[in-house]
A and B are shown apart, each in its own frame.
Chain A
Amino acid sequence: MGRAILLLALLSGWTAAQQLPPPLSQQISSLHEQVQSLAQGGQLAAAHGATAVMRRYGERMARDFTRFDQELLNRAGDLGMRLPASAVPPGFSTGGSDFDRSFLAWAATRTQQLLNALRTGQRAAGPLAGLAGSLLPLVEVHSQLNLALRQPGAPV
C-alpha cells in the first residue's frame, strides 16, 4: 500500500513536471537566439541577395529583428538576467545563384519556429506574455512577406 502511494506520488510529480513550461530565463534565451539568428540571416541577404527586392527583404529582417532583440535584452535586463551574445551562423551558403531560394526556405522555417515560440510565450502567464503578444503581429508580417516572396512570379 505504501509503495503504491509512493509510486502514485512520483507519477503525479512527473506528470506535473511535464506540464510546466520551461523556466523564464530559458524561454528568453531561446527567443534571443532565434531572433539573433534571423537578424544575422537578414544581414546576409541584404549583402548577397540577387535582386533588389531580396536585398530589401534582408535589410528589413535585419533591422526589425535587431530591434526586436533589443526589446528582449531590455526585458531580460528588467528581470535581472544577462543574455549571452550568441552568434548563430545561418545554415546555408552565401554564394551561388541559389542563394535567394535557399535563404527564403531557411527564413520561412526560422520565422515559423519563432512564431510558435511566441505563441507559447503568449499563452504562458508571466512577464514574457505581454512582450510575446505585442511582437507576435510583427513576426506574422514577416511570415506573410516570406510567403509572398516564395510565390511563383515573385520578383526574387
Chain B
Amino acid sequence: MARSAYLRPRRSRQSVGAVLGGGAIAGVIAGAVSLAVGMAWTSGLGLGPELIPRAAAAGLAGPTALLGGWGTLVAGWLLALLGAAVLGLIYAAIGWRVRSFSTALLYGILFAIVAWAVLKRWVLPSLDPVLSAYIPLLGAAWFWLHVLYGVVLSLSAPVRRGLAGAQPAPAQWELPKAG
C-alpha cells in the first residue's frame, strides 16, 4: 500500500516568526490606514493634515517638531508606523490562536480600545507630551482612529497565514486514526 494511505501530513503550526511578522505587518498596514484617515480628520477639524505626524515626531525632537519641514514629517510618519508595528506585534503575540475572522475582529477592536486607554493615560504623557496635549482638541476622533486601527489589525490572521504558507515548513507525518 502506498505510504499516503497510512500517513498524511499534519497541519504545520505557525512559526513564531510568521506570527510576530504577520502582526507587525498588519500593524503597519493598520497604522498607515489610521494615519491617512487621521490626517484627513485633523484637516477637517481645522488643525491641518500634518498635525499627527508632526506631533509624533515631537516624541523625539520636542515641541519644535511642530514647525519642522519635510524631514520632520517623514520622521513622524515612520515613528507612528513603528508604534503601530509594535502594537501589532503585541496583538499577534497575545492572540496568535485566534483563527476565525469574527473573533479576530472583536479581539482587534477590544485590543485597540485597551491600547487607546493605556496610551492616553500612561504612555503618551511621558513619551510624547506634545501629542498628548493635542488629544483634547481631537475629541472623539482619537478614539475612533484607534478603533479603525483595531479593525484593520484583524487582518493579522490572514497575513500571518500567508507568511506561514510562503515558508516551506518541514513535512510532519502522522498515522491516520483507526476506522
Contact = CB atoms under 8 A, between A and B. Distances in A.
A59 B48 contact: yes
Nearest to B45: A67
Interface string A133-150: 011011011001100100
Interface residues of B, number: 18
Nearest to A54: B67
Interface centre among B51, B67, B69 (most CB of A within 10 A): B67
A57 B67 CA distance: 6
Contacts, number: 49
Contacts of A144: 62-63
Contacts of A48: none
B47 A67 contact: yes
B34 interface: no
A148 B66 CA distance: 12
B134 to A, nearest CB: 6
Contacts of B67: 53, 56-57, 60, 145
Interface stretch (B80-88, B125-133, B142-150): B125-133
Contacts of A53: 67
Interface in A65-120: 66-68, 70-71
Given A66-B46, A67-B45, A67-B47, A60 B133 contact: no
A148 B61 CA distance: 12
A155 to B, nearest CB: 9
A33 to B, nearest CB: 19
B5 to A, nearest CB: 70
Interface of A: 52-53, 56-57, 59-60, 63-64, 66-68, 70-71, 134-135, 137-138, 140-141, 144-145, 148
